[in-house]
Amino acid sequence: MKKLLFAITLLFVLQKSYSQKIDKAKMQAMYDAIKAAGIRHPDFVMAQCMQETGNLNCKKCCLRYHNLFGFYIKGNKCKKFNSDEECIAYYKTWQDKRYDKWRKKYPKGDYYHFLKHVKYATGDKYNNELKPKVAWVKKNLQL
């Protein structure tokens, strides 16, 4: 019984800690920039941004190079951008090069399938980590 109570308390504390790390105003501003760029499925893309940057708070990730989406170049190095806007524009171009071809081949596919198909998501683990973030975006941001 004590173990169960401890587990429930720990889960509550971790959930509260996770939600406190999210700055809704910052997230809304980033979502608005993604949407304004004309990126398809901005709720999913915002969730990717959250996943790759630790909710725009990470110190040891590509965010220090304005890399919002974890893009890498040869040698497994973080792609560097001069601004968040430049990175968002890059994502738009990246998406545009791939999306229509995928959509023609998989007209009923969802964005999770797209990410896996273009090898952005290297497996189901990434998409499973993305799902609660997509739900958070849909629940907490003005779409």
Q: Which of 98, 84, 80, 82 is nearest to 36 (CA)?
A: 84
Is 10 domain-assigned? no
Is 93 domain-assigned? yes
Domain count, the chain: 1
pLDDT in tens, 26-42: 999 999 999 999 999 99
Q: What's the CA gap between 69 and 36, in Å, rounded? A: 17
Residue that is written with structure tokens 């019984």 in the block: 1
Q: What's the CA gap between 57 and 38, in Å, rounded? A: 25
73 strand-pairing partners: 77
117 touches 106 (CB < 8 A): yes
Tell me the whole-structure pTM to 2 decimals: 0.83
CATH code, domain with 97: 1.10.530.10
Is 5 domain-assigned? no
In percent, how much of the chain has pLDDT > 90? 74
Is 3 domain-assigned? no
Q: Which residues contact 130 (CB under 8 A, 6 or more apart)?
A: 44, 47, 48, 51, 112, 115, 121
Is 87 domain-assigned? yes
> 11 falls in which pLDDT band (50, 70, 90)?
very low
Rounded to the nearest 10°, the torsion over CA 59, 86, 32, 15 is -20
Is 15 domain-assigned? no
Average pLDDT over the chain, rounded to an integer:
88
Domain range for 136 is 23-140
